[in-house]
């Protein structure tokens, strides 16, 4: 066995990730995606695959530093363009191309999951493709542009609307808008079209109350799809007096009320027949969920409430791509560039979901008990080791020689990752927040740990901050 092969064998997470990246974002695949979705964008010196690989290196290897990845590529001779040319190329990336890259890569990744991999869902809803969706503003754009240097406050990049497959946890599609202040509702028709193009129905859409209106709910019902949406009070619910109201208790011991009726006034042609399930939470706001799954025997209220709670998975997805996959460290200060980075962060998130699934299957653990953050940290560490020891040209040549089929790569991942379990990847148990500790101010403003531990310090009660005086409104 050669030295290169032995090094890769001893770093299984890096080995699996590099094979996945070669299969997922190979030059031929990315070139095809670019040609079909490029619009007026073009390639001259910097190719689309090169751009994806540069930004991937920045997120995986160089601590979010795109500049360092570009400088390394220039030093290795794989990039002849200037740093400014690369940044300008990222800033001009069409949002349709970014969305297509995520969608088509997620389709390829679904084939690589373990055959038995799926999150448990209620049996009554197993016939549906379960999808949760929500929107996210891309925040923390640096004030690099001349137009933004003169303003204070938070500057937003683009807006994305993402659909997550509840069964697998993969981000299957996204729709984007260049204006970060745009409404999620504007993006909904495009997202539905993209998802329906790659996932078979019938689909069950799960979303928060923003999407509960008589204009957009019919869109969710197209092609035989159904919905479970949190009820929004501005859309009036009119109870059916001929159908008796039922009550019950959910898995958490909370009482709920089940009603049948309509959303919208009787004269409104868009009026919808729905079932509303309201969970009563003393001391907190009640949670009301509406669905067009009207049969309470076929679709028990406990199953409807359970699947709505699973909507929280997309909130965790957004947290992960921001904190773990570095969406908070934006490479570009232009709106198109922020959407491109968001798509790539979602792609890396999906890749890590596949790695975690095989690691968990090999250890015979549920994937939810494996920390994605801890696992991704070790993936980055091993990748850095491989690249530093062997060098980028050797790594590229070593992994480009293997041509995988989906079935062959899935078997390889199960073999390599199934034997890599480490106990430090176990997800920490959630802890209840501790009540705030009352504090006092140190006399003089400082003291030492030595004195504080031994009670030899002096304190005075903290002064209450005075409320700022409100200015009288101008008469002009």
Question: Is residue 214 over pLDDT 50?
Answer: yes
pLDDT band at 473 (very low <50, low <70, confident <90, very high): very low
> Which positions ≥6 away from 468 have C-beta within 8 Å?
none
Query: Across residues 296-319, what is the average pLDDT?
Result: 93
Q: CA torsion 371→372→375→380, rounded to 10°?
A: -150
Q: What is the pTM of this model?
A: 0.89
- Identify the pLDDT of residue 468: 55
Question: Is residue 472 over pLDDT 70?
Answer: no
- Identify the pLDDT of residue 13: 93
- Identify the pLDDT of residue 275: 96
- Identify the pLDDT of residue 129: 94
pLDDT tens for 384-431 read 888 888 887 788 788 877 788 899 999 999 999 998 999 999 998 877
Helical H segments across 167-252, by residue range: 184-198, 217-220
- Identify the pLDDT of residue 476: 35
Helical H segments across 140-255, by residue range: 146-149, 184-198, 217-220
Residue 73 pairs in a beta bridge with none
- Identify the pLDDT of residue 223: 93
* 205 φ, ψ (degrees, to nearest 5): -95, 130
Query: Across residues 52-69, what is the average pLDDT?
Result: 79
- Identify the pLDDT of residue 467: 56
Radius of gyration for the alpha carbons in the chain, expressed in angstroms and rounded: 26
d(CA 173, CA 133): 9
- Give the rounded percent of residues in the chain with a pLDDT score beyond 90: 61
- Give the rounded percent of residues in the chain with a pLDDT score beyond 70: 96
d(CA 443, CA 37): 66
Query: Across residues 266-275, what is the average pLDDT?
Result: 92
Query: Across residues 149-155, what is the average pLDDT?
Result: 91
- Identify the pLDDT of residue 239: 93
E-strand spans in 143-225?
159-165, 171-177, 203-207
Distance of CA 470 to the CA centre of its chain: 41
Pairing status of strand 226-230 against strand 203-207: parallel
């Amino acid at each position: 066995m050669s030295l290169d092969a032995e090094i890769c064998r001893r770093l299984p997470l890096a080995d699996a990730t590099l094979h996945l990246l070669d299969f997922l974002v190979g030059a031929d695949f990315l070139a095809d995606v670019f040609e079909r979705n490029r619009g007026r964008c073009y390639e001259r010196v910097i190719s689309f695959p090169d751009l994806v690989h540069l930004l991937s290196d920045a997120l995986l290897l160089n601590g979010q530093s795109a500049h360092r990845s570009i400088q390394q590529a220039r030093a290795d001779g794989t990039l002849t363009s200037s740093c400014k040319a690369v940044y300008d190329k990222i800033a001009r990336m069409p949002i349709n191309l970014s969305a297509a890259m995520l969608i088509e890569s997620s389709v390829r990744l679904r084939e690589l999951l373990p055959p038995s991999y799926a999150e448990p869902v209620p049996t009554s809803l197993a016939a549906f493709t379960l999808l949760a969706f929500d929107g996210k503003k891309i925040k923390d754009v640096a004030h690099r542009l001349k137009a933004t240097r003169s303003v204070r406050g938070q500057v937003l990049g683009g807006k994305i609307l993402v659909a997550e497959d509840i069964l697998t946890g993969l981000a299957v599609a996204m729709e984007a808008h260049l204006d970060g202040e745009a409404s999620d509702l504007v993006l909904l028709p495009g997202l539905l079209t993209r998802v329906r193009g790659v996932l078979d129905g019938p689909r069950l859409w799960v979303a928060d109350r923003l999407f509960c209106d008589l204009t957009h709910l019919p869109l969710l019902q197209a092609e035989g799809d159904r919905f479970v949406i949190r009820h929004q009070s501005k859309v009036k619910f009119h109870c059916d007096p001929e159908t008796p109201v039922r009550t019950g208790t959910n898995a958490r011991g909370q009482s709920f009320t089940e009603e049948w009726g309509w959303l919208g006034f009787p004269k409104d042609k868009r009026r919808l027949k729905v079932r509303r399930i309201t969970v009563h939470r003393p001391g907190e706001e009640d949670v009301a969920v509406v669905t067009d799954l009207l049969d309470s025997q076929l679709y028990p209220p406990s199953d409807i409430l359970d699947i709505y709670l699973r909507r929280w998975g997309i909130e965790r997805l957004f947290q992960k791509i921001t904190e773990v996959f570095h969406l908070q460290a934006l490479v570009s200060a232009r709106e198109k560039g922020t959407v491109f980075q968001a798509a790539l962060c979602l792609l890396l998130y999906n890749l890590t979901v596949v790695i975690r699934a095989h690691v968990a299957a090999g250890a015979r653990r549920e994937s939810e008990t494996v920390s994605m953050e801890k696992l991704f940290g070790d993936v980055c560490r091993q990748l850095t080791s491989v690249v530093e020891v062997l060098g980028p040209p050797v790594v590229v040549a070593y992994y480009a020689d293997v041509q995988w089929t989906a079935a062959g790569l899935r078997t390889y991942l199960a073999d390599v990752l199934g034997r890599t379990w480490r106990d430090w990847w176990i997800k920490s148990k959630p802890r209840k927040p501790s009540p705030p500790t009352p504090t006092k101010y140190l006399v003089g403003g400082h003291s030492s740990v030595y004195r504080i531990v031994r009670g030899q310090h002096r304190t005075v009660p903290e002064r209450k901050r005075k409320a700022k005086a409100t200015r009288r409104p101008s008469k002009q």
